[in-house]
Amino acid sequence: MILVTGATGNIGRDLVAMLAAGDTPIRAFSLEPGTAPFPAGVDAVYGDLDSDAFVRALEGVRSVFLHHGAVTADGTLNLESRLARARDAGVEHVVLLSGGPGGGSDLDNAVERDQILSERAVRASGLRWTILRASGFASNVFRWLPQLRAGDALSVPFAGVPVAAIDPYDIAAVAALALTTGDHDGATYRLTGPEPILPAEQAAQIAEALGRDLTLRGQPDDEARAELLAFLPSQYVDALFTFFVDGTYNDARVLPTVEDLTGRPPRAFADWLAAHAEELR
């Protein structure tokens, strides 16, 4: 049995669909049912990762897909107990979704710290492991949905920062390989999209796909900070400014890893958009 957590998330949805096409039984773990049902034959368990529902979901599981954790208010990494529960349940292998900052060393940067500590915890877990360090997701443009609903004017933070945006489908494809074969044990893969892309270029492609006259304006830093603070704790907002304004993190780097592992080039933003335009409409 393979357990996919975050099963209705951007990667989880694709991963469950890919794995459901194979022979291994699949269980999907999710906070609550999503808008679309899981494919036929997929066992679903609902609940919080830090509740007993997760322990129930681990029953009979050999491999588990987990997102990186976070350091909580009491100073502990929530992923530690999730890994311990997996080990106690007899799980053998974990595939961890991390990000490019997981390869850094700045423990004062909250995003980097969560990813570095999560990777350390997985390596020390006693389980076999595979770590996926992804670049920024193509699906991050879903964050523009409220503005797209309100009109044609987009205002975005860090508009001058190019990102080698990756289609979550490609992260799922590599995760599926790692979960179904033993060939990727002990590997840490840095996964990127095929080209760096700017928010304005993404907006132009969305405008074309939706037949709309969109404009995009880069937010001044103080406006961006105030807006981000409305839904992110301040240490994470500081981390994003350190990355993208001070320039400590380059997410524009393109690597051949997805093609090396899957045998086909990574999907471009245009491919992601073709698959998701209806959700942006």
Ligand X SMILES: NC(=O)c1ccc[n+]([C@@H]2O[C@H](COP(=O)([O-])OP(=O)(O)OC[C@H]3O[C@@H](n4cnc5c(N)ncnc54)[C@H](OP(=O)(O)O)[C@@H]3O)[C@@H](O)[C@H]2O)c1
- Closer CB to ligand X, 10 or 109, in the complex: 10
Chain residue whose CB lies nearest ligand X:
9
- Closer CB to ligand X, 167 or 263, in the complex: 167
Q: How far is the CB of 77 from ligand X (least distance, A)?
A: 13
Q: How far is the CB of 93 from ligand X (least distance, A)?
A: 19
CA distance 66 to 83: 9
Q: How far is the CB of 34 from ligand X (least distance, A)?
A: 6
Q: How far is the CB of 213 from ligand X (least distance, A)?
A: 27
Q: How far is the CB of 248 from ligand X (least distance, A)?
A: 16
Residues in touch with ligand X (CB under 6 A): 6-12, 30-31, 48-49, 67-68, 97, 99, 134, 136-137, 139-140
- Closer CB to ligand X, 136 or 194, in the complex: 136
- Closer CB to ligand X, 143 or 151, in the complex: 143
- Closer CB to ligand X, 127 or 134, in the complex: 134
